[in-house]
Amino acid sequence: MKVAILGYGTVGSGVYEVLKMNADYIAQGVGEHLEIKYVLDLRDFPGQDVEKVLTHDFNDIISDPEVRVIAEVMGGEHPAYEFSKAALEAGKSVCTSNKELVSKHGAELLRIAREHKCSYFFEASVGGGIPIIRPLNNALTADEILEIRGIVNGTTNYILTRMRDVGMDFEEALAEAQANGYAERNPAADIEGLDAARKTSILASLANRTQIDCEDIYTEGITKITAADIAYAKKLKANIKLLSLTKREAGKTYAMVAPVMIRSNSQLYFINGVFNAIMVKGNAVGDLMFYGSGAGKLPTASAVVADMIQAAKHKGVTVDTIWDEKKLKPEPKDAMRFRFFIRVPAEEADKANKAFGIGEVVDAGIPAEYGFVTDYIREADFEELSKDLHVINRIRCDFKYK
Q: What is the pLDDT of residues 280-322, one digit of tens each?
A: 999 999 999 999 988 889 999 999 999 999 999 999 999 999 9
- pTM of this structure: 0.97
Chain centroid to Cα 368, Å, comes to 38
Per-residue pLDDT at 401 exceeds 80:
no
How much is the pLDDT for 402? 54
Q: What is the pLDDT of residues 138-169, one digit of tens each?
A: 999 999 999 999 999 999 999 999 999 999 99
Alpha-carbon distances, residue 224 vs 25, 167, 221, 376 (angstroms): 47, 16, 8, 22
Q: What is the pLDDT of residues 191-217, one digit of tens each?
A: 999 999 999 999 999 999 999 999 999
Determine contact, residues 214/255, Cβ cutoff 8 Å. no
Per-residue pLDDT at 188 exceeds 70:
yes
Short-list 323, 307, 291, 278, CA closest to 141: 323
247 belongs to the catalytic site: no
Q: What gap in Å lies between CA 168 and CA 100, rounded to an integer?
A: 31
User: Which of 99, 104, 199, 241 is flagged as catalytic?
Assistant: 199
Determine contact, residues 8/75, Cβ cutoff 8 Å. no
Contacts of 216 by beta carbon, 8 Å cutoff, 6+ apart: 255, 329, 330
Domains, the chain, ordered by start = 2-128+297-327 (3.40.50.720), 144-293 (3.30.360.10), 334-397 (3.30.70.1150)
Report DSSP state, residue 221: -
Number of residues that this document lists for the chain? 402
